[in-house]
Each structure stands twice: as C-alpha cells, then as structure tokens.
Amino acid sequence: MMQSRDSFTQFVFQPSILIVFAVLALAGCRYPVNIERPMTDMQGSELNIGLSENPPWVINTDQGPAGLEVEIIRALAENMDATINWHWDSEGNLLAALSHYQLDLVIGGLTQDSNVSALATPTRAYYQSQYRVGVPEGTSLPSNLEDVEVAVPVVNHIAQALKKEGAIPHPTSDLGKHNEAVANPSWWLKAYGYQVGDWEIATDHHVMALPKGENAWMLAVQRHLNSYPDIEQRLQRLEAGQ
Amino acid sequence: MKIRQLYRLPPDKQQDLNYLIRLEWWNLAFRISIVAILGTVLGNSQAMKVAWLEDMLSLIPPIAFLLAVRFRKRPPNETYPYGYQRATIIAFLCTATALSAMGLFLLGDSLLKLAQQEHPSIGAITLFGETIWMGWLMVGVLIYSVIPPVIIGRLQIKAAAKVHEKTVFADGKMSKADWMTGLAAIVGVLGVGAGFWWADAVAAAIIALDVTRDGIINLKEAIGDLLDRRPHFTSQEEPEYMEEALEAELCAMPWVAAASVRLREEGPIFSGEAFVTPHSNDDLARHLKDASRHLNNYDWRIYEVVVTAWPNEEHSLSPANANPP
C-alpha cells in the first residue's frame, strides 16, 4: 500500500511541483495571469466594454455614455492607457457575450445574483445601496413603519420587505413629487433632500461582470474599484443632476 | 438468559485508550478549525471545493469514534446480551459509505467541469486595506490544512495500534496521506494563477479519487468485521493467527485430545468458539469452564471464547492436532 503511494508521489506530484515552480519563476511578478486575454494585450490597447442603461449607474446621453460606472471604467482605462469600445445591449446579451470572451467587462448597475455568476464572474461588491424609508424635509419621521403608507417605484424589489416591516407599499410613478414617505436607496433620498430613517429595508450589492477565469484582469479591476473614492456623493450628484 | 460480562480493558490499555480519546478530541478540534477557515476562502475553485468537502467528511470518523466509545461502555443486557462492542463498526460503515459516495460524486463533478472547459475564477480579496490575489490566501490556508492532520495522523496510528482501534487506525492513515490532497489543491490553485484553466479541475479529480479510495478501503474493513472475518491486527494486512495459538494452548492441557478454534472480530476485540475433544468425560464440565477462563485471559483482546466438547471425528485438521490419539 505505502509502496504504491510513494511511487504515486514520485510520478505525479514531484513533476507537477517542478512545473508549478517553473511557471511561477517565468511568471515572476505578473501573477496571477489571465486564461484567455493576456494583460499585456489589454494595456495600452482597446477594451471592449458592454453596457446597458440603468441610471444613475449607466446613463445613455447624446454625448455618449455617462453615469457612475462609466466614470469608474473611464478612469480605469486611463490608468491602463487603453481606449474603450462601448457596446450597448441588453444585460442578457451582454452576459452571454462575456461568457464567450467577446467582451472584457459588463456594467449596467448589476447586483450580486445567480444570473450574473452563471455566465460571468462578478467582482466583489464595490458599493452597497441601502434601501431606507425617508420623509420630505420638514416632516417628522414616524416612530415605526406600522401601517404607514410608503411610496415605492412602480418597478421595485422591496415591496415584500416593506410589508414585513408593517408598512403599506404604494407604487408611484412620479416618485418624490408628493409630500409622502418614500422607500428608496439612501443616496436617492439624500439627493432629493429627504430625512432618512434607520430602518434597513434591503441592500443591493453592486458589482461589475468579468469573463470567467480572467484572474489578473479581475485583480486589476478590483484594486481600481476599492480605491475609487466618494461613490455615495457621486451617486447623489448624478441623481440630482437628472 | 445468559448475559455476557462487560468487557474491561487491562489498566495499561485503558490508559492507552484514554490517550487515544484525548487525541481524537484534539483531532476533531483541529479539523473543525480547518473546515471553518477553508470555508472562508473557497472562491470559485473546484479543487478548493473538493478539498473542503473532504475535510468536512473527515470530521465524521473522530465524531463516530468518540460516540462509539461512550456507547460501548454500556454493559450487555437482556435486549443486547452480546453487548455494544460493535457500535464502532456501525459508525465506521456509515463513514465509509459517505466517503465512497461523496468521492464518486465529486469525481464526476470535477470531470464534468473539465469536459465543459470551465475557467475557474480566483478573484481578489482586501485584507488590511491591501487588495491581493485570493489564490495566495488559499495556498496559505491549504498549507495550514495539511500540517495538523499529518502530525495527528502519525500519533493516531501509533496510539490506535496499541489498543487495536481499527477505525482510528484507518483514519490516521488517511490523515497522514492528507498532505497530498492539500498539495494537489495548492498545485491546482497556482496552476489557475499561471493561466492553466484545467489545473483546478484536474487537481479536484485527483482529490476526489483519493476520497473514493479511502472510502473503499474503509468499506472493506467495515464489511470484513460485519461478516465475522477472522481477526487481523490493525497494523497488519495478514490475519493474526491467534486461532492456532489458542489451539496450541488447549492441546497443551493434559485432558485435551484435540482442539479447534474459530474467532471473529467484534470491533476492537475478538470472540469465538473452541471445540475440544477430551480423553475422557471425567470432570468435563469443570475442565471446559477452566479452559474457557484460561483462553479469555490469554490475550487482552479476547473478550469471550466459549469452549465446548465435541466427539473426535468432527475435528478438522489443524497444526495443533498433528498427533490425534
């Protein structure tokens, strides 16, 4: 028994250790490396970025793409001396293109979910949108949400969580125009001058999507995201500017 | 109803067993810490996933042993007149089945990942304000995950052989070999970092093979015990040949004309029957009882050998009966 173990070690493990160390020596400080597109190919070259509209993260303007994530990626490309080819499409098409290594990165206010991780690798959350309940300036916050009517966007994923708190969600198309309590991300509430309550209704974990296995690229994007400052203030400014 | 006496280890062996129990508690504590730490750095790596599941499965043998040792202390009773010695083997069989099934599942899963050419993502992690490649952290944790099992595995093998605890012995052998699966995972993670997408799935498949192999070895051991295989000593592949020794003991008694013995394993200890042909029927009942007592004290591993008298022609040939009357 031990005999076969030892020969197994000799024939399988020892060469593989040698190979790994040889590769490490060759790779030097460029570790990890990408599996499909080498970093040297991206540096000073073209980045293919997929984007789908989702203000204030990605905004389609007459002057081209804008929004928080567009700003972040522009800064990253500048650091890499790269130019950007923007590709507008639906989130589904973009993620599929990512899985076939046609794109380098996809943005569009993506949040952590299984759709993204099935076809791509999400970054770690670079920002968390906290859904809170706020009231217009000059109104006092209720002591609790029991039976309080709270305005929510018509398309939302927080109605259920609000009901759990005892509140009555009220889908409203022109949010912020009436004198009523609103549930929305804290940056939105602050942008419109709302007083923000302490109830944590929900949290969106914002990510960007990268192709699977592009580990050096992931490290570069993640480092850039982690060092990107003042995300909350930028979101408020973008929202207020709309 | 004749109920067995409770089996008692000799005092020095009881001390060895207490040491083994303490060792298993340490083993369990280290393994829980490994599972917890590995769980935090899994990432998307198949090799890490398989190594983690393997470490999770390795929690079962020490838990099973510690439970069985407690259970075994119960004296035999009206419902279980043969006692609870085999509790260990039930636990062992469950472990072995889980290992084999999980090993095969993980092997299939890893080969599927290989066939689909899935590119494993090993992302970045921010520690103390510094964003580093997660692979380095995985390698660090994997190195931690192999050191305690290798050390404890060596101690387990020695301690388990002293008290003939096959389940711990087998577990110790697995732990001792555990560094290879840890190394395979490290090679997989570093291989992915070097741009070889297949390194991860191949490493995972190797680990899964090892898990399956461990499972099958344990399954063989557990089934051997449940099928009343003749006793083997923990550290040896060969049978123990204690039957022949006991036959020689019996034949050395002046009233015995011929003797044959069969033994089986009941967890860590042996039981069986001795068939003796006496020269005459004088005092036979007393002779039989004395012979039984003598055999039960011959070796600490013998729990109970029942001695019965048989007519001569029923004996099979055995070296101890070379000169039948």
Candidates A155, A151, A156, A123; CA nearest to A139 is A151
Q: List, for residues A201-224, the tens digit of each pLDDT value.
A: 999 999 999 999 899 999 999 999
Q: List, for residues B150-208, the tens digit of each pLDDT value.
A: 899 999 989 988 888 888 888 888 887 778 888 888 999 999 888 898 999 999 999 89
Q: Chain A residues with CB inside 8 Å of B197's CB?
A: 35, 213
pLDDT tier at A2, thresholds 50, 70, 90: very low
Q: Chain A residues with CB inside 8 Å of B194's CB?
A: 20, 23-24, 27, 31-33
My answer on whether B51 and B126 are in the same domain is yes
Distance from the A34 Cα atom to the nearest Cα atom in chain B, whole angstroms: 6
Integer Cα distance of B54 and B41 in angstroms? 15
A98 touches chain B (CB under 8 A): no
A18 touches chain B (CB under 8 A): no
Mean pLDDT score, A166-193: 89
Chain B nearest-CA residue for A22: B194
My answer on whether B220 and B258 are in the same domain is no
Class of domain A128-205: alpha beta
Integer Cα distance of B276 and B283 in angstroms? 14
State phi, psi for B195 to the nearest 5 degrees.
Answer: 100, 10
* B233 found inside a domain: no
CATH code of the domain in which B310 resides: 3.30.70.1350
In this prediction, residue A3 carries a pLDDT of 45
Q: Where are the domains of chain A?
A: 1-31, 39-126+207-241, 128-205
A211 touches chain B (CB under 8 A): yes
Distance from the A156 Cα atom to the nearest Cα atom in chain B, whole angstroms: 30
Element (H, E) at B199: helix B198-226
Q: Chain A residues with CB inside 8 Å of B43's CB?
A: none
A3, A9, A215: which to substitute to probe chain B, counting the most B Cβ within 10 Å?
Answer: A215
* B61 found inside a domain: yes
Among B123, B190, B237, beta carbon nearest to A222:
B123
My answer on whether B284 and B179 are in the same domain is no
My answer on whether B192 and B252 are in the same domain is no
Q: Where are the beta strands (DSSP E) in chain B?
A: 124-127, 130-133, 256-266, 269-278, 302-309
Q: Chain B residues with CB inside 8 Å of A98's CB?
A: none
Which residue pairs from B96-100 have beta carbons closer than 8 angstroms and sit at least 24 positions apart in sequence?
Answer: B96/B215, B96/B216, B96/B218, B96/B219, B96/B221, B96/B222, B97/B215, B97/B219, B98/B57, B98/B60, B98/B215, B99/B57, B99/B211, B99/B212, B99/B214, B99/B215, B99/B218, B100/B212, B100/B215, B100/B216, B100/B219
In this prediction, residue A145 carries a pLDDT of 85
The pairing of strands A83-88 and A46-51 is parallel
* B1 found inside a domain: no
- Backbone φ/ψ region at B243: left (φ over 0), alpha (ψ -120 to 50), beta: alpha
Among A35, A212, A226, beta carbon nearest to B126:
A226
- The token duo for A62 is 């007459």
My answer on whether B59 and B87 are in the same domain is yes
Average pLDDT over chain B reads 87
Question: Do the Cβ atoms of B267 and B85 come closer than 8 Å?
Answer: yes
In this prediction, residue B129 carries a pLDDT of 81
My answer on whether B208 and B81 are in the same domain is yes
Among B135, B180, B195, beta carbon nearest to A13:
B180
Helix axes of B166-176 and B11-40: crossing angle, nearest 10 degrees: 40
* B232 found inside a domain: no
CB contact under 8 A, A121 and B123: yes
CB contact under 8 A, B123 and A124: yes
My answer on whether B216 and B255 are in the same domain is no
Q: What percent of chain B has pLDDT over 90?
A: 31
Least confident of A42-46, A109-113, B312-316: B312-316
A224 touches chain B (CB under 8 A): no
B87 touches chain A (CB under 8 A): no
Question: Do the Cβ atoms of B122 and B135 come closer than 8 Å?
Answer: yes
CB contact under 8 A, A218 and B124: yes
For A38, A86, A89, A211, the CA distances from A49, given in Å and listed in that order, are: 16, 5, 11, 11
Q: Does A39-126+207-241 match A128-205 in CATH topology?
A: yes
* B235 found inside a domain: no
Q: List, for residues B31-79, the tens digit of each pLDDT value.
A: 999 999 999 888 788 889 888 998 898 888 899 889 888 888 889 999 9
A2, A21, A101, A219: which to substitute to probe chain B, counting the most B Cβ within 10 Å?
Answer: A219
* B231 found inside a domain: no
Q: List, for residues B233-262, the tens digit of each pLDDT value.
A: 765 666 778 888 999 999 999 999 889 999
My answer on whether B156 and B263 are in the same domain is no
**B221-260 residues touching A, CB cutoff 8 A:** 237
Residue pairs spanning A and B at CB distance below 8 A: 88
Looking at B177, B193, B226, which one is the last position of a domain? Answer: B226
CATH code of the domain in which B109 resides: 1.20.1510.10
Q: List, for residues B13-28, the tens digit of each pLDDT value.
A: 899 999 999 999 999 9
Check whether A168 has a pLDDT greater than 60: yes
Among A17, A27, A123, beta carbon nearest to B187:
A17
Check whether B319 has a pLDDT greater than 60: no
- Which residue intervals of A110-171 are DSSP H helices? 114-119, 159-164
In this prediction, residue A1 carries a pLDDT of 39
- The token duo for B7 is 């089996």
In this prediction, residue B36 carries a pLDDT of 94
CB contact under 8 A, B133 and A215: yes
A15 touches chain B (CB under 8 A): no
Among A9, A214, A223, beta carbon nearest to B131:
A223
- Which residue intervals of B235-321 are DSSP H helices? 242-251, 284-296
With residues binned 3-state (H G I as helix, E B as strand, rest as coil), the percentages for chain A, rounded to 5, are 40, 25, 35
Count Cβ atoms below 10 Å from residue B125 Cβ, excluding itself.
Answer: 20
Least confident of A130-139, B84-93, B280-289: B84-93
B184 touches chain A (CB under 8 A): yes
In this prediction, residue B236 carries a pLDDT of 63
My answer on whether B47 and B72 are in the same domain is yes
DSSP B141-184: HHHHHHHHHHHHHHHHHHHHHHTT-HHHHHHHHHHHTHHHHHHH
My answer on whether B184 and B35 are in the same domain is yes
DSSP assigned state of A58: B
Among B131, B133, B183, beta carbon nearest to A32:
B133
My answer on whether B56 and B86 are in the same domain is yes
B187 touches chain A (CB under 8 A): yes
Distance from the B195 Cα atom to the nearest Cα atom in chain A, whole angstroms: 4
Check whether B315 has a pLDDT greater than 50: yes
* B62 found inside a domain: yes
Residue B40 belongs to domain spanning: 11-226
B116, B131, B213: which to substitute to probe chain A, counting the most A Cβ within 10 Å?
Answer: B131
* B292 found inside a domain: yes
My answer on whether B293 and B216 are in the same domain is no
Element (H, E) at A210: strand A209-210
Which residue pairs from B173-176 have beta carbons closer than 8 angstroms and sit at least 24 positions apart in sequence?
Answer: B174/B58, B174/B61, B174/B214, B175/B27, B175/B58, B175/B149, B175/B150, B176/B149, B176/B150
The neighbouring-strand residues paired with A15 are none
Among A16, A35, A222, beta carbon nearest to B195:
A35
What's the ipTM?
A: 0.75
B261 touches chain A (CB under 8 A): no
In this prediction, residue A17 carries a pLDDT of 65
Number of domains in chain B: 2
A13 touches chain B (CB under 8 A): yes
CATH code of A39-126+207-241, in short, is 3.40.190.10
Among A9, A31, A35, beta carbon nearest to B119:
A35
CB contact under 8 A, A34 and B184: no
